[in-house]
């Protein structure tokens, strides 16, 4: 079997290198989309168009490559939402040679002159739901979206408005690489009413926090109100329950350890009016998110502390309450250190989605002579389907509360 060459066409034939062209010219069979094959009518190779039957094309390539030199022409870059990975899986990595080129995402960001190393990339093409997109919308500031004729830019803009992602602006790039190529930025309401040339793709960019709709903070505020990244936020319903377990009072000092986006700290300010809130986080990007959220909701008694847990806690004022949002492999050390500084009538609440962390938290609190309570919270959210609604399960969360007996005696009195 001869190795199959898979060549990325980039945005068009002008993106082909001399090496690409030489390989194409030596081919016995060219496989590709009709518009790609039309670029090589002067080459005597047999032409095999790619249609909807991808499995059939793969079997054709497998059979013919025993004796023939086959070149597959792929749009953009072969390994970026392209046919390259499918061919490599089916034929075996040793049986293919892949020649990369400019992807449509690289071309799109080049057009708008924006870096894309910090962008999330989502495809709606042929997808039955848009859950992954809206999950990314909650935490990412820049998103490239592959559309299709049904889930087009107008449909996408309408969905963003429906889901209240109003703090994004949209760039639609039409017919990239063609003579009719154009692109522009649009407010969502305008884009929702427009028609765009095919094929197209979308870049979404979060507007600065100052331009977000003016929302009044409340318990269990929507996750989308907070500046955060990649789902690193205590979800709204879980947040409300965790805060109820903390039993916060106006004069309390709260430590929010591993604060992430700071959403617990922010909403704790609804209860702690005279006391202090300290959001402790190591990651510098998340530190900026907490500061942005503090500014957005004007939380004056919140102090943001950058420290590696459990180090650095000795410098903080002793807490009445501690919240730990996970803790990872350091959970035992963080709980132990926190308990050392917790006031006698204090209370400690831990959220985790990991069974080992649940076991570790319970064992550690018991060793430290805490009374414990644990609940499991399972949230199901409604999700719109074409003809009705369904419920979609979120990850179950364990909320562990630890309190010393001194508190229980005080409450009974």
Q: How many CA atoms lie within 13 A of 309 on its CB side?
A: 27
What pLDDT, on a 0 to 100 scale, did the predictor assign at position 139?
A: 67
Distance, in Å, from the CA atom of 69 to the CA atom of 63, rounded to the nearest integer, reads 11
Domain boundaries, the chain: 4-102, 106-207, 223-412
User: Pairing state of beta strands 253-257 and 276-281?
Assistant: parallel
**223-412 is classed in which CATH architecture?**
3-Layer(aba) Sandwich (3.40)
- Cβ neighbors of 320 (< 8 A, separation 6 or more) are 249, 251, 252, 253, 254, 275, 342, 343, 345, 346, 347
φ and ψ at residue 223, rounded to 5 degrees: -60, -30
Distance, in Å, from the CA atom of 335 to the CA atom of 359, rounded to the nearest integer, reads 13
User: Is pLDDT of 212 > 50?
Assistant: no
- pLDDT tens digits, 318-350: 999 999 986 677 899 999 999 999 999 999 999
- pLDDT tens digits, 239-273: 999 999 999 999 999 999 999 999 999 999 999 99
- pLDDT tens digits, 144-159: 999 999 999 999 999 9
Reported as a pLDDT band with limits 50, 70 and 90, residue 213 is very low
What pLDDT, on a 0 to 100 scale, did the predictor assign at position 384?
A: 67
User: Is pLDDT of 388 > 90?
Assistant: no
What pLDDT, on a 0 to 100 scale, did the predictor assign at position 382?
A: 83
**4-102 is classed in which CATH architecture?**
3-Layer(aba) Sandwich (3.40)
Overall average pLDDT of the 382-402 stretch: 83
Token digits for 253?
């000092």
What pLDDT, on a 0 to 100 scale, did the predictor assign at position 387?
A: 66
- Cβ neighbors of 213 (< 8 A, separation 6 or more) are 166, 167
Distance, in Å, from the CA atom of 336 to the CA atom of 342, rounded to the nearest integer, reads 10
Superfamily of domain 106-207: Tetrapyrrole methylase, C-terminal domain (3.30.950.10)
- pLDDT tens digits, 112-130: 999 999 899 998 887 777 7
């Amino acid at each position: 079997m001869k190795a199959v060459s898979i060549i990325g066409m980039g945005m068009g034939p002008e993106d082909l290198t001399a090496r690409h062209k030489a390989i194409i010219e030596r081919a016995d069979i060219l496989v590709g989309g009709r518009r790609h094959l039309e670029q090589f009518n002067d080459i005597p190779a047999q032409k095999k168009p790619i249609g909807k039957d991808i499995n059939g094309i793969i079997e054709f390539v497998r059979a013919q490559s025993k004796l023939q030199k086959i070149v597959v022409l792929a749009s953009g870059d072969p390994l970026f939402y392209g046919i390259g990975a499918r061919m490599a899986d089916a034929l075996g990595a040793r049986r293919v040679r892949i020649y990369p080129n400019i992807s449509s995402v690289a071309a799109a960001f080049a057009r708008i002159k924006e870096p894309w190393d910090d962008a999330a990339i989502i495809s709606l093409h042929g997808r039955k739901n848009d859950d992954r997109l809206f999950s990314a919308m909650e935490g990412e500031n820049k998103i490239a979206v592959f559309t299709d004729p049904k889930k087009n830019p107008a449909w996408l803009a309408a969905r963003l408005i429906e889901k209240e992602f109003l703090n994004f602006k949209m760039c639609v790039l039409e017919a990239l690489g063609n003579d009719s190529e154009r692109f522009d930025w649009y407010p969502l309401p305008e884009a929702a009413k427009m028609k765009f040339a095919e094929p197209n793709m979308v870049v979404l960019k979060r507007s600065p926090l100052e331009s977000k709709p003016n929302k009044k903070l409340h318990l269990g505020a929507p996750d989308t109100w907070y500046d955060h990244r990649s789902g690193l936020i205590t979800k709204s319903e879980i947040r409300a329950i965790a805060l109820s377990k903390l039993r916060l009072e106006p004069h309390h000092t709260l430590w929010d350890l591993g604060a992430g986006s700071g959403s617990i700290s922010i909403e704790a300010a609804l209860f702690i009016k005279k006391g202090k809130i300290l959001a402790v986080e190591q990651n510098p990007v998340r530190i900026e998110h907490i500061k942005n959220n503090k500014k957005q909701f004007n939380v004056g008694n919140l102090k943001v502390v950058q420290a590696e847990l459990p180090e650095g806690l000795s410098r903080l004022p002793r807490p009445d309450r501690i919240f730990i949002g996970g803790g990872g492999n350091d959970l035992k050390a963080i709980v132990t250190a926190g308990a050392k500084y917790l006031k006698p009538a204090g209370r400690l609440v831990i959220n985790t989605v990991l069974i080992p962390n649940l076991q570790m938290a319970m064992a550690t609190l018991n060793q430290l002579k805490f009374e414990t309570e644990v609940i499991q919270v399972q949230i199901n959210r409604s999700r719109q389907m074409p003809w009705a609604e369904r419920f979609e399960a979120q990850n179950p969360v364990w909320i562990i509360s630890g309190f010393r007996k001194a508190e229980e005696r005080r409450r009974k009195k």
